[in-house]
Amino acid sequence: MKSKKITESNIDDSIFNANSGEWWVEDGAFKALHSFNLIRTKFLTDAIKSYPSKTLRNKKILDVGCGGGIFCEPLARLGADVTGIDTNKKAIQSANNHAKSEKLKIKYLNTDLANINNDNKFDIITCMEVLEHVDDVTAVIRDIKKKLKVNGLFIGSTINRTIISLVTAIFFAENILNLVPKGTHQWKRFIKPSYLKKNLIIENFNHIKFEGLFYNPLFNKWKFIKNKSVNYIFSAKLK
């Protein structure tokens, strides 16, 4: 029997396949993700300060839903041992090609989280802009827990389910500003921070932190804010 892909996206692959050549065009279809790198890298490096070494060097990182490797590359440049996984074959091909052109040693796999060996533990698992697309968030958290070392960090970003997010993250972002391809998001799959926190606690995570995020499309810049009504980023440590 074929195993269920718990991180299977609800997006038709044709959406990302149609933009497969855009992953490393910084002002292209994924320009918001490129600018997002600055703030999510800062969030991760701040979170790692809870480790005695206070650095990413030699830390084993798994980036779930890595796409074309936009977030994997800065982590590799900071000295981390990075593995990126994605179920989209063309995204992984783009990630591999770009890493080679930059002479970066990153392991990319065209696979699902469920297929990663639970004995291969990671110091950090990242899941950026992925949870709002999966069928079963609870199952993803449970599987991430199995693949983290004790005191390992789970870091991710997603979208809150509010009326404001319906208007901004779908209507404006997809239909007016064309920040992401149309059909990328389904509002019913957006995740309230309270729901996410509850599931993290159930799965034995603590030191849970949430930060709101704001994206300015005019300047293509992100910043941290207190309000978590649309985008937010989080970290949690496995006990």
Domains, in order of start, for the chain:
13-238 (3.40.50.150)
Sequence-separated (6 or more) residues with CB below 8 Å from residue 202: none
pTM for this structure?
A: 0.91
Residues 220 and 198: their CA atoms lie apart, in Å, by 33
**pLDDT at position 7 over 60:** no
Rounded to 5 degrees, φ, ψ at 78 are -85, 5
**Band of pLDDT at residue 52, cut at 50, 70 and 90:** confident
The token duo for 178 is: 């064309």
What is the token pair recorded at 65? 């839903």
What confidence score (pLDDT) does residue 176 get?
74
Q: Residue 132 pLDDT more than 70?
A: yes
HSE on the CB side for 179, CA within 13 Å? Answer: 21
Average pLDDT rounded to a whole number, residues 45-65 = 91
Please tell me the distance from the alpha carbon of residue 226 to that of residue 129, in angstroms, as a whole number.
Answer: 19
Tell which wins on pLDDT, 45 or 3: 45
Decide which of 32 and 104 is more confident.
Answer: 104
E strands in 160-204: none
Q: Which of 4-18, 38-52, 111-125, 168-182 has the lowest mean pLDDT?
A: 4-18
CA–CA dist 114, 186 (Å, integer): 23
pLDDT confidence bin for 4, thresholds 50/70/90:
very low
Model pLDDT, residue 185: 84
Q: Cα(182)–Cα(147) distance, rounded to whole angstroms?
A: 33
Q: Is the pLDDT of residue 138 over 70?
A: yes
- Statement: residue 221 has pLDDT above 90: yes
pLDDT tier for residue 54 given thresholds of 50, 70 and 90: confident
Calculate mean pLDDT across residues 133-149.
95
Contacts of 194 (CB under 8 A, 6+ apart): none
Number of neighbouring beta carbons within 10 Å of residue 63: 28
pLDDT confidence tier of residue 164, bands split at 50, 70 and 90? very high
The whole-number pLDDT of residue 6 equals: 47
Among 168, 124, 137, 126, CA closest to 32: 168
Residue range 143-163, pLDDT digits in tens: 999 999 999 999 999 999 999
For residues 41 and 26, what is the distance between their CA atoms, to the nearest angstrom?
A: 17
Mean pLDDT of the chain: 90
Sorting pLDDT into bands at 50, 70 and 90, what band is 50? confident
Residue 9 predicted with pLDDT over 60: no
Q: What is the pLDDT of residues 60-101, one digit of tens each?
A: 999 999 999 999 999 999 999 999 999 999 999 999 999 999
